[in-house]
Structure 1
């Protein structure tokens, strides 16, 4: 059963350099830590925005090479989204629905996540970024590299901004994790003597907490460190808590 968290602190790694395709993200993170004269501590959770992971992994799509299908054209006309983006949403997902009269488009990604626009992020007017191919594996690679470099045992959570079908605005959720159990399990006795077991999506709560300071809309701080979070170590990843894991 998980230990509760009574208090924690969080800070962004900034200034953070612009990430380009092919960059070694773990080295960039450790370089920023060194420049800040900041030392990681055992148990720290490093939260990384999915977009910089996608950029480093080269998950770019040139929209000029995307040919919209009739289904994409129809959905584009309905929602106002560019047909090429809609085609990517359809190709990256197994099912979708439109929340409201004109969107957003909520899609079940092939990875098993239900995300606004299948997690696709625009890259200017000519391109788009897809999600990391395997976010749990990306988190594991970052965790292993950072731990090897610093000698400090940390966890990594990859976070992604996402909308809700029932309301406006966006929140932040986890799409990848390593070194931290994705679920926090609690048990307590009911008045009738029975034991009630509850599961909480811990990595989502960690991502949301980091989202308060992570870079949004060009702020330029795509990595945050959370310190003092109580968690169980695990490499199950976010996939382990999905209803429809691939």
Structure 2
């Protein structure tokens, strides 16, 4: 889908394979829809089989270039990333953070186990942590599962995305891209947004550009897979909706398996 466009020296990226831009990569409009009703995913379930079953029930076919956005929790469940909280022994630090934030000490211990650095935003949280995979996430991506369990992020979200992309393309015959999305809080504001933690078939970065008065072209990197995840978040993953998969159609992107990890400051 086009070639590599070099950056000027002032804005050069150390890994230019992440930054590709051409006029054909401009998105003027797109459509998005959820695959629903979606079955409840259980540990070990085949996500691609679930996706194709829902598509058949909806009489929906994937098109070449569609971007399939999958909620990370669905991937975690299918990969059986659940931890029984009864097996977790809180440290003194976890107990202290529990008293400060009101969160269960066992869950906080999992946050500490999964992260390399953390800080508490506000008086009682949230806990913002840099995951050992390089993501900065609320609670290191640890998600409660009732009173006695918690879900961890997929162990390698980019690899999970590649596996889903390959299986979906094989099952449907349509070359598609996959983005794995995770809800995330911000340290500076209330509420949650949606970001990408894994991707396959879509370059994680794109550039916007404009001409400076001196004639130089200034290029600004954009995290394209985050934009895709946020767009899908408008219809995906609201509590109780039960729609962990969305399809975006008409998004322009460069094909790449660099993955989300390739654009992180702290790579795993």
Q: TM-score, normalised by structure 1?
A: 0.99
1:92 aligns with 2:114: yes
What CA distance in whole angstroms lies between the structure 1 residues aligned with 2:156 and 2:131?
Answer: 12
Q: Which piece of structure 1 moves more, 154-163 or 22-31? A: 22-31
1:231 aligns with 2:214: no
After superposition, what is the alpha-carbon deviation per residue over 1:10-49, rounded to whole angstroms, capped at 9, x for unaligned? 0000010000000111111111111111011000000000
* Alpha-carbon offset, residue 187 of structure 1: 2.8
Out of 186, 193, 199, the position equivalent to 1:164 is 186
1:214 aligns with 2:240: no
Q: Extract unaligned runs of 5+ from structure 2.
A: 1-20
After the TM superposition, which parts of structure 1 deviate over 6 Å for at least 4 consecutive aligned residues?
none
* Alpha-carbon offset, residue 188 of structure 1: 2.5
Match of 1:241 in 2: 263
1:198 aligns with 2:191: no
Match of 1:73 in 2: 95
Q: Which piece of structure 1 moves more, 100-109 or 180-189? A: 180-189
Match of 2:63 in 1: 41
Q: Which piece of structure 1 moves more, 24-33 or 219-228? A: 24-33
What CA distance in whole angstroms lies between the structure 2 residues aligned with 1:28 and 1:210?
Answer: 19
Q: Extract unaligned runs of 5+ from structure 1.
A: none
Q: TM-score, normalised by structure 2?
A: 0.91
Out of 152, 164, 170, the position equivalent to 1:130 is 152
**How large is the Cα RMSD of the aligned pairs?**
0.7
What CA distance in whole angstroms lies between the structure 1 residues aligned with 2:239 and 2:148?
Answer: 18
What CA distance in whole angstroms lies between the structure 2 residues aligned with 1:13 and 1:58?
Answer: 22
Match of 2:9 in 1: none
1:12 aligns with 2:34: yes
Out of 104, 129, 137, the position equivalent to 1:107 is 129
